[in-house]
Amino acid sequence: MNALERLRTSPAWFRWAMYAFLGVLLLTIVQSISDTERLTQVATSREMLRWAVPIFLAGLGGLYSERAGVVNIGLEGMLILGMWFGAWGSITYGAWIGLLIGVLGGAIGGLLHAIATVTFNVDHIISGVAINLLAPAATRYLSEEVWESPTTSPRTQAVADWDVPFLAGGTINGWETPDWLLYVGKCGTSGIFGGRGCLDNENAAPTWLLSDIADLSRGLLRGTSLVAVIAILLVPFTAWLIWRTRFGLRLRICGEYPQAGEAQGISIVRYKYVAVIISGGLAGLGGAFISTELSGLFQGGNSAGRGFIGLAALIFGNWKPGGVLFGALLFGYVFGLDLKDLDGTASHAMLLVNTIVLVGVGIWAISRRKTVDAVLAGLLAIGAFGWYLVSDTVPDWWSNILPYVLVLLVLVFFSQRLRMPKALGMPYRKGGG
């Protein structure tokens, strides 16, 4: 058994950890030969997590719905409903109640989608598009009625942030713990045991790769929103619920063999309803996070297509919670890097990252005898590398569209190897298939 086969058969958490390590290694190598230090900065990973949370919650919501056999491209509209209701609830009742009201707002959108698709057998795509059109119009009307502004709310309240003790300098009963990741990031190997004193050592210096891992990790663990912590905890909870419980088994039967489930006495309609409402609620939580944590207010158009990107993360993650999180972090990294890339040098370095990744995709395609994919990846790699060589920075428009280009590339190269639920999108009638 070669190394790739061992990796493929290893536990999911180990595989994703290895993918993350290889990603950081690639960023460190490119950063070493480029004119930027932003690829592995603390601020970059902090923004990555903040931007990834709503994408992940939308994608996780899609997982529940699509595992039950209901296509949910209405996640964008449900996220927008969560944005408005979360902002209204936060302004009126406080941050935590606002998040709960945002969940309810998104769940209303999920209920509408379930009524249309499950009860009346409306085409799932048509219903989703209708919700995506209805949500902006409804929130605009509500904004005019409640705030006398069609697009903007007053400032909202946000939940508290959290610093992880010992790793990122958090406090325990008022005692400020050491910030070990800071020491390793600034001082490298000498910071592991040197503690706070290593920061004053003139000879202390970062250690290649180790300090980059520490900086990226510290960005995830310091100043972390409690909503982000809850979102990450939903990964093991969802994995347990979907694959280790009776509820999860019955939900998956709805998306794989609904007629067999009905023959065993399972209420397929009820489980589909529950799954789609949960889907909307999670998307609504992602929207509430945007209006309370990211922007601090409800603003029309602030969703920035995160519901659609959540669907791409769902496909990238092969309808599994860990994969959805990894995909959301990947897309969030590009968004977060763009916020800190004021001079375009980091986005320029990303051209080299793109080149290396595309070469890897091309090699993978050749090994699978996918000639068209290999040729396309090769041409894109040549284009990215050529652009990298002839320029020192990239224009602002490239930084703005890079997340969406990444979505398209993921769908082009990886959608064919994934396995969606067999009955996904198929109409279901009780007693008639």
Tens of pLDDT along the chain (433 residues) come to 466 667 677 777 788 788 889 999 999 999 998 878 889 999 999 999 999 999 999 999 999 999 999 999 999 999 999 999 999 999 999 999 999 999 999 999 999 999 999 999 999 999 999 999 999 999 999 999 999 888 889 999 999 898 999 899 888 888 888 889 999 998 888 777 777 778 777 777 889 999 999 999 999 999 999 999 999 999 999 999 999 999 999 999 999 999 999 999 999 999 999 999 999 999 999 999 999 998 899 998 888 889 999 998 998 888 999 989 998 998 899 888 877 666 778 888 999 999 999 999 899 889 888 898 899 999 999 999 999 999 888 887 777 777 778 778 877 887 666 788 999 988 888 766 4
Do 334 and 250 share a structural domain? Answer: yes
Do 287 and 327 share a structural domain? Answer: yes
Token readout for 65 is: 């719905």
What is the model's pLDDT at position 423? 92
The reply to whether 332 falls in a domain is: yes
Do 326 and 231 share a structural domain? Answer: yes
Under 8 Å between Cβ of 284 and 102? yes
Neighbour tally for 130: CB within 10 Å: 16
Rounded to whole angstroms, the Cα distance separating 76 from 57 reads: 11
The reply to whether 197 falls in a domain is: yes
Do 110 and 47 share a structural domain? Answer: yes
Residues making up the chain, counted from first to last = 433
Give the 3-state secondary structure of the chain: CCHHHHHHHCCHHHHHHHHHHHHHHHHHHHHHHCCCCHHHCHHHHHHHHHHHHHHHHHHHHHHHHHHCCCCCCCHHHHHHHHHHHHHHHHHHHCHHHHHHHHHHHHHHHHHHHHHHHHHCCCCHHHHHHHHHHHHHHHHHHHHHHHHCCCCECCCCCCCCEECCCCCCCCEECCEECCCHHHHHHHHCCHHHHHHHHHHHCCCCCCCCCHHHHHHHHHHHHCCEEHHHHHHHHHHHHHHHHHHHCHHHHHHHHHHHCHHHHHHCCCCHHHHHHHHHHHHHHHHHHHHHHHHHHHCCCCECCCCCCHHHHHHHHHHHCCCCHHHHHHHHHHHHHHHHHHHHCCCCHHHHHHHHHHHHHHHHHHHHHHHCCCHHHHHHHHHHHHHHHHHHHHCCCCCHHHHHHHHHHHHHHHHHHHHHHCCCCCCCCCCCCCCCC
Neighbour tally for 353: CB within 10 Å: 19
The reply to whether 358 falls in a domain is: no
Do 154 and 169 share a structural domain? Answer: no
Do 243 and 194 share a structural domain? Answer: no
The reply to whether 375 falls in a domain is: no
The reply to whether 354 falls in a domain is: no
> What Rg do the C-alpha atoms of the chain give, in angstroms?
23
Do 110 and 242 share a structural domain? Answer: yes
Do 173 and 103 share a structural domain? Answer: no
* Domain of residue 340, residue span: 13-161+223-344+394-417
Number of domains in the chain: 2
What is the model's pLDDT at position 342? 63
What is the model's pLDDT at position 176? 87
Do 124 and 239 share a structural domain? Answer: yes
What is the model's pLDDT at position 35? 75
Residue 335 sits in a domain whose CATH number is 1.10.3470
Name the maximum alpha-carbon separation found in the chain. 77
Do 338 and 250 share a structural domain? Answer: yes
Q: Which of 207, 167, 171, 175 is nearest to 189 (CA)?
A: 207
What is the model's pLDDT at position 4? 63
What is the model's pLDDT at position 411? 75
Rounded to whole angstroms, the Cα distance separating 239 from 339 reads: 32
What is the model's pLDDT at position 5? 67
- Whether the full predicted model's pTM is greater than 0.85, yes or no, is yes
Do 329 and 190 share a structural domain? Answer: no
Rounded to whole angstroms, the Cα distance separating 180 from 88 reads: 40
The reply to whether 433 falls in a domain is: no
The reply to whether 385 falls in a domain is: no
The reply to whether 365 falls in a domain is: no
Neighbour tally for 201: CB within 10 Å: 13
Do 135 and 257 share a structural domain? Answer: yes
Sole residue written with tokens 């006495």 = 265
